[in-house]
Structure 1
Amino acid sequence: MPRVLVAGGTGFLGRAFVRGLHRRGAQVAVLTRNPARAARLGLPAECVEGDVRRPGGLASAMHAVDAAILSVQFPGYPVEAPALGRTFMEVDARGTAALAEAAVEAGVRKLVYLSGVGADPGSARAWYRAKGLAEASVRDSGLDHVIIRPSWVYGPEDRSLNRFVALIRGIPFVFPQLGDGAGRITPIHVDDLADLVCGATLGSAGDGLTLEAGGPDVVSLDDVVRTAMAVLGRRRMILHIPVGLVKLAAACAALLPGQILSPDAVDFVTQDGVADSDLARRRCPAFRPRALATGLAEYVSRA
């Protein structure tokens, strides 16, 4: 029975990976800063203590691990809090590098890194740059590895598309859309992504590859809203709020306590994110992600 460590296993994506690995018979451990709190989630996994910003204890946390899935995010993501060390460079880039180094020291055989569409170490945008640097750390580790770049991920426990659903339900007549709603994405259901990630972790079909992962629909952000309205049986006019105005409000919010919003986060949530999943489908024939309307209808009630 393989032992797999999921770094970031208490998050939205990580929880799906833990459950998927457990269903496939793997022994699962979750790397977490707070094992007692993580245990209350009821995940089918052992909780081991570790913090990517304090790499000294990471190798011992990876003892007797065959493979590790690296999917760490900082609290409040994607709104950074530099004073608290919650940034893309600190967690995604340097944190993943620390995990890769610890994996080599601990004798881990394989790494699977959750990156993102558009990752590029030379990008001017912090999130693309951090993901690109993290990918390089995984490739340079010398271990067997798979890099997976998902598009926008949704599901019953996500905070993004479900916010759209809440707005459609809660606001009559109009839907307030950030920007022009033209950003193009390929939404993928979290369980479909988990199938790909778990298969890549426990099998060898994706070894050495960078696989983009998205659903079958290439849609605009406005299309996402229209699909959600259709599933809910609601009709709303989409009211576009200029990005400049939203960024002005976000700049003010960034001065307040807590990670509420920031101008960079506005760019993050309105950007394109189209995944080319052809290679993933060729190498992993079981990877057949569901359409957005289908995935939404499975868990969104018309009530």
Structure 2
Amino acid sequence: MPRRQSGAGVTPRILVAGGTGFLGRAFVRGLARRNAQIVVLTRNPGKAAGLGLPAEYIRGDVTRPGTLSPAMRGVDTAILCVQFPGYPVEAPTRGRTFMEVDARGTAALVQAALEAGVRKLVYVSGVGADPHAGRKWYRAKGLAEASVRESGLAYAIVRPSWVYGPEDRSLNRFVSLVKGVPFFFPQLGGGTGRLTPLHIDDLADLVCEITLGSSGDGFTLEAGGPDVMTLDEVVRTAMRVLDRPKPILHIPIGLVKLGAAVLELLPGQLLSRAAVDFVTQDGVADSRRARNGFSGFRPRALEPGLEAYLPRG
């Protein structure tokens, strides 16, 4: 099928695969502010409509490749940011794994894009992605990146660091512990994992600019906040913003994994030993290429980012 050409005066039709998730919702809102026509790929359009996003909802499931090509028809550019429910705790019996969704799911989306004549792909990966990595989440993201690069389509790949914001489930879990646990903060491990926390709105601005323009085409761009911080420093920053200082109690990783091993046996995606490694690992982004290539990408530091939405006390 011939590839679609976009031009001046044409409202681009953008598909966001993963548009109901934390990252995807921010991309949809950012694109809407830029007057794009947006389609959200979702397994359950009826349920997704309750989110009130400024988008059309269309049914598709990355674990069922046959559903994807029809969803891609008429699409100029596709943003690929799908995650499985319960991420990062896998549920292999339900097909909720990094390899099934991130790697094979992205490959299926790429194939569907080719069949439908999509012009460009924007893949939201992660810092550390490598198809030869030992850890499966890095390996799955690396394989997904390879699918995008080898597609023959115009593409851009964005590798964010740890992303936070009002609707996230990672840093806000820390916030809940700061508020809810008296006397101390329970930190998994030594709190030495190094991160470059990135506000969701800063990531969304970058992804939208890459999606609607061509400056990022052919590039892999890491994206993180301006400061390298340890997990303990992230927690102390949240305490300062909330005005709730308290000591940090470090719980040995071995003890945490022992508990995780028990939780793996219970119904639901509560916790796993692999997920413990995931949430305590380093995630440092080198954002120089993104800052140099996109003058509007000037990510805020963590403290003012938190102050924008966390009430004190």
Match of 2:164 among 142, 151, 154: 154
Residue 235 (1) aligns with residue 245 (2): yes
For the aligned residue pairs, the C-alpha RMSD in angstroms reads: 0.5
Q: Which residue of 2 aligns with 1:247?
A: 257
Q: Distance in 2 between matches of 1:105 and 1:88?
A: 24
Q: Which residue of 2 aligns with 1:168?
A: 178
Unaligned runs of 5+ in 1: none
Residue 288 (1) aligns with residue 298 (2): yes
Instruction: Tell me by how many angstroms 1:123 deviates.
Output: 0.7
Q: Secondary structure at the match of 1:287?
A: coil
Q: Secondary structure at the match of 1:123?
A: coil
CA deviation profile, 1:14-45 (whole Å, cap 9, x unmatched):
00000000000100000000000000100000
Q: Which residue of 2 aligns with 1:135?
A: 145
Match of 2:221 among 208, 211, 215: 211
Instruction: Tell me by how many angstroms 1:285 deviates.
Output: 1.0
Instruction: Tell me by how many angstroms 1:171 deviates.
Output: 1.1
Q: Distance in 2 between matches of 1:17 and 1:272?
A: 25
Q: Distance in 1 between matches of 2:13 and 2:203?
A: 20
Residue 105 (1) aligns with residue 115 (2): yes
Q: Secondary structure at the match of 1:40?
A: helix
Q: Secondary structure at the match of 2:48?
A: helix
Q: Percent identity?
A: 74
Q: Which residue of 1 aligns with 2:4?
A: none
5 Å-filtered alignment, 1:5-154, equals 5-154=15-164
Q: Distance in 1 between matches of 2:305 and 2:13?
A: 30
CA deviation profile, 1:195-220 (whole Å, cap 9, x unmatched):
00000000011000000000001000
Instruction: Tell me by how many angstroms 1:156 deviates.
Output: 0.1
Q: Distance in 2 between matches of 1:117 and 1:72?
A: 16
Q: Distance in 1 between matches of 2:106 and 2:251?
A: 36
Instruction: Tell me by how many angstroms 1:299 deviates.
Output: 0.1
Amino acid at match of 2:155: H
Verify the 8 A CA contact 1:173 1:235 in the aligned structure 2.
Answer: no
CA deviation profile, 1:48-82 (whole Å, cap 9, x unmatched):
00000000121110000000000000000000000
Q: Distance in 2 between matches of 1:238 and 1:219?
A: 16
Amino acid at match of 2:63: R
TM-score, length-scaled by structure 2: 0.96
Runs of at least 4 residues of structure 1 off by over 2 A?
Answer: none
Amino acid at match of 1:189: H
Aligned length: 303
Unaligned runs of 5+ in 2: 1-10
